């Protein structure tokens, strides 16, 4: 794979991730407002969001039962996954190029991202 080809694929991946996640967030947001628009919005005092919105499994489960707050969260998870997918793609590209120094570097970054996403508290 040439560097230019990689650049083009990375670019497409990033734009797709952003557009897709924004669409999911928008749909979830509009549906949520239609249903809960007249409820009060108060974010003055902090209260951690419920457990079901904090993990991929919980979010998918809640979104599946038409909890629109979870649909928004699913869109946000897609967004967070976009740069992670970009790093994973770079790992494949560097492997194909047999650039093992960069395979190692990319693997470290990917490991840090996965550690963060897999629910370290």
Partner 1 sequence: MTNLEFTPLVFGISAIAGWLGALTGLGGGVVVTPALTVLLGVDIRYAIGASLVSVIATSSGAAASYIREGFTNIRIGMFLEIATTLGALLGAHLATRAPTSVLSIIFGLVLLHASWQSSRGGPPDVAAEVPDPLATRFKLDGAYPTDQGPRAYHVSHVKSGLGLMFGAGTLSGLLGIGSGALKVIAMDQLMRIPFKVSTTTSNFMIGVTAAASAGIYLHRGYVEPVLAMPVMLGVLAGSTLGARQLAGARVRVLRWIFAIVVAVMAVEMIVSGVRGTT
Point out which residues bind partner 1 (CB under 8 A).
Answer: 3, 6-8, 10-12, 14-15, 17-18, 21-22, 25-26, 28-29, 32-33, 36-41, 43-46, 48-51, 53-55, 69-70, 72-73, 76-77, 79-84, 86-87, 90, 99, 101-102, 105-106, 108-109, 112-113, 115-121
Task: Tell me how far, at minimum, the Cβ of 66 lies from partner 1, in Å.
Answer: 14
Q: 16 and 89 in contact (C-beta within 8 Å)?
A: no
Copy the structure tokens of residue 19.
Answer: 């557009």
Task: Tell me how far, at minimum, the Cβ of 31 lies from partner 1, in Å.
Answer: 11
Token look-up 């699913």 returns 74
Residue whose C-alpha is closest to residue 86's, from 4, 13, 16:
13
Nearer to partner 1, 50 or 64 (CB): 50
Q: What is the C-alpha to C-alpha distance for residues 112 and 92, in angstroms, rounded to an integer?
A: 17
Residue whose C-alpha is closest to residue 114's, from 75, 83, 84, 90:
84
Nearer to partner 1, 8 or 66 (CB): 8
């Amino acid at each position: 794979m040439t560097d230019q080809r990689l650049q083009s694929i990375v670019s497409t991946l990033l734009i797709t991730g952003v557009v897709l996640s924004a669409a999911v967030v928008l749909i979830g947001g509009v549906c949520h407002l239609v249903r809960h628009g007249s409820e009060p919005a108060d974010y003055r005092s902090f209260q951690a969001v419920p457990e079901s919105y904090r993990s991929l499994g919980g979010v998918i489960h809640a979104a599946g039962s038409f909890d629109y707050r979870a649909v928004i969260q699913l869109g946000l998870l897609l967004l967070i996954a976009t740069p992670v997918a970009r790093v994973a793609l770079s790992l494949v590209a560097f492997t194909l190029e047999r650039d093992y120094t960069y395979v190692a570097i990319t693997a470290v970054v990917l490991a840090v991202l996965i550690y963060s996403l897999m629910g370290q508290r």
